[in-house]
Amino acid sequence: MKNAGHLRAWLPPSFSRLSLRSRAALLFILVVLAAIALGASQTASISLANIALDVGLLGILAGGWVCVHSEVLRPANALAKIAVGFTQGREETQPPPSEPTQASPSTTSLWASVDTFAGVLQAQAHRSDAAIAVERVVLREVNHRIRNNLQMVASILAIQARADESDGALRALGRVNLLSLAQDRIYASGDVNRVRLDDLAAEIGRNLQSARGTQAHTLRLELVLTPAFSQSDAAVPMAFLMGESLSHALDLLGPISGAILIMTVRTEADGSVLFSLASPQMPQHRPLSANSGRVMEAFALQIGVEIIRSPIGPELVRIKLKPSTTAIAR
């Protein structure tokens, strides 16, 4: 390709305006004359038959080069330029201005095919863009309606909690807030197929600690987080599992001044996601309420996670999300 471009650079401009046959014939004549002159200058003993044979072979090679260059190399180069233009957002489907105006029927047919194919691609791209725009509007509207409904439910539960001063209403309010938080995280991620569990866990931890007020103001929450992803269908159940575990840990450590709660989220070597809670001040007596236990068992069964509760030691709970429910980082 480079050699062909260099050769065309020193050829006279009138050569590129000739038809394919004219160029091949002219090049053949030039090669014949050059071969005759070379043979005559070297020796006079070379037979005319040998000279004619050499000239014929050189002429065939020259004509073949012109055909290959005109019919294959030049169109291929133009197609490559068009492909690069498409990747950069341009929609040019015609030969570059440097191409000769006289083209063979095969080249003309090639450009017509490129035009047709490019038109189909452009129509499909426009339809895809329109469909994506509609999908984004629908997702925004759905998310807006869900958030409004969750805020209404949370307001009702907050009124009920203030009226009854019951722990059950406060727990229900916290679970609704967890659902709202997970929904916001799914929508805000920009990817409805996967969610960052480490970001979700950190936000849940900060929100629950803040909601406890003075009860947990001396507790120090340490986050040991590495990027971990899950499918969006598993994000809400995982939010409830992490929230219930954190609420239980805050219940245990709240009365202890200066307690440290270590929350870990990481991706294991097998692709599973591990969430754990531990504290050096963790009490040995750590009962889980029946209501919280039922909630955790229901969501664990829904997405098939493994929950390990330790009766002793610094670790309180370990939740393992299987690789089939996690999402690959991109």
Nearest to 186 by CA among 211, 225, 150, 133: 150
Question: What residue spans define the domains of the chain?
Answer: 2-103, 194-325
Distance (Å, rounded) from C-alpha 201 to C-alpha 8? 65
**pLDDT per residue as tens digits for the range 6-42:** 444 445 555 455 555 566 666 666 666 666 666 555 5
**pLDDT per residue as tens digits for the range 221-235:** 999 999 999 888 888
pLDDT along the chain (330 residues), means of 10: 45 52 62 62 58 67 66 67 65 52 57 70 79 76 74 75 70 79 74 83 89 80 93 87 91 89 94 94 88 87 90 93 69
Q: How far is CA 74 from CA 20, 68, 80, 110, 266, in A?
A: 13, 9, 10, 12, 54
| Percentage of the residues of the chain whose pLDDT score is greater than 90 | 18
The CATH class, in words, for 194-325 is alpha beta
- pTM for this predicted structure: 0.57
Neighbours of 203 (CB within 10 A): 16
